[in-house]
Amino acid sequence: MDSRSSGGEMDKVGLGVGGRQGVGVGAARGGGYLENCTPANFSRNTLPDPRLEELARLGLQREWLAVAELLGVDAFLAAWRVLDTPDAPRDDSGTLTLPLRRYSQWLRWQRNQHIRALRAAGLRPSEVRERLKENYGEELSASQLRRIR
């Protein structure tokens, strides 16, 4: 192989380029050019959206303010626009009166769907009860399981 080095320092590193060079001694601390980089900050803006205060001054209930804070004001306003249709139920003052089931009903419905799926997969009632205890922390009796169709 023809070497173009002059027989000096380069011959000690080894033949090849990049990672194909022979075993050599790397820099002790790296190149140093990255020491001025700062960690990326991907956290959400910590300042509250000023429109939350406007919604509070408008008289929105605290539960809706909490939803707006959780989802973000833009998403909340988009949902509000969807809910505020001309045929939406209202009381005498014009306030929207949209019925919303309790969250616990959603959880119970999901649990019951899971029970049905476990049964359909051929699990015995004792195995279904084990899975419920494991996944939901609930203990249902055999008669309660039978009532879920």
**Do residues 80 and 88 make contact, with C-beta atoms less than 8 angstroms apart?**
no
Rounded Cα gap, residues 127 and 82, in angstroms = 43
Residue 71 lies in a domain: yes
Residue 73 lies in a domain: yes
Rounding to the nearest 10 degrees, give the CA dihedral for residues 52, 57, 63, 66.
10
Residue 92 lies in a domain: no
Residue 55 lies in a domain: yes
Residue 70 lies in a domain: yes
Residue 134 lies in a domain: yes
Structural domain including 72 reads 50-83
Task: Tell me the torsion sign for CA atoms 53, 57, 58, 59.
Answer: positive
Rounded Cα gap, residues 55 and 129, in angstroms = 46
Residue 57 lies in a domain: yes
Tokens standing for 74? 């833009």
Residue 41 lies in a domain: no
Tokens standing for 140? 């249902």
Number of structural domains (the chain) is 2
| pLDDT tens figures, 13-63 | 556 666 666 666 656 666 666 566 666 666 666 788 999 999 999 999 999
Query: Are 108 and 76 part of one and the same domain?
Result: no
Query: Are 141 and 113 part of one and the same domain?
Result: yes
Please give the distance of CA 52 from its chain centroid, rounded to a whole number. Answer: 23
Rounded Cα gap, residues 55 and 78, in angstroms = 14
The model carries a pTM of 0.58
Query: Are 112 and 79 part of one and the same domain?
Result: no
| pLDDT tens figures, 84-127 | 999 999 999 999 999 999 999 999 999 999 999 999 999 999 99
